[in-house]
Amino acid sequence: MLEYEAYEAMALDRMQQVGAEIRQRWPLVQGIAILQRIGKLAVGQNTVLIACSSSHRDEGCFEAARYGIDRLKEIVPVWKREVGPDGSVWIEGSYRPGLGDNIE
């Protein structure tokens, strides 16, 4: 089993930031959806969705989606714990809190 936790207020703020970054870099991308599941999930279940749409595939939607998942893993405060018969372990990500992380 996998268990995902998030600092929800900051995670939502950072996901909006990722969407804004995508819009700035790929202005022809018309639709952006970013979802991160939290809670207990079975191994193999979908945990994250990044979807981008544009009027044509050559307008950056694939590149934008790849950027979105990479950026989500980089700045969105979500933590994963693997739970098995021998116990559990938290999986380290690359996110580290910084001075700019203070949100109200």
pTM here is 0.83
Residue 96 confidence (pLDDT) above 90: no
What pLDDT score was predicted for residue 97? 62
The structural domains of the chain, ordered by start, are 2-87 (3.90.1170.40)
Q: Measure the CA–CA gap between 39 and 73, rounded to whole angstroms.
A: 17
What pLDDT score was predicted for residue 10? 95
Q: What is the pLDDT of residues 62-90, one digit of tens each?
A: 999 999 999 999 999 999 999 999 989 98
Residue 34 confidence (pLDDT) above 50: yes
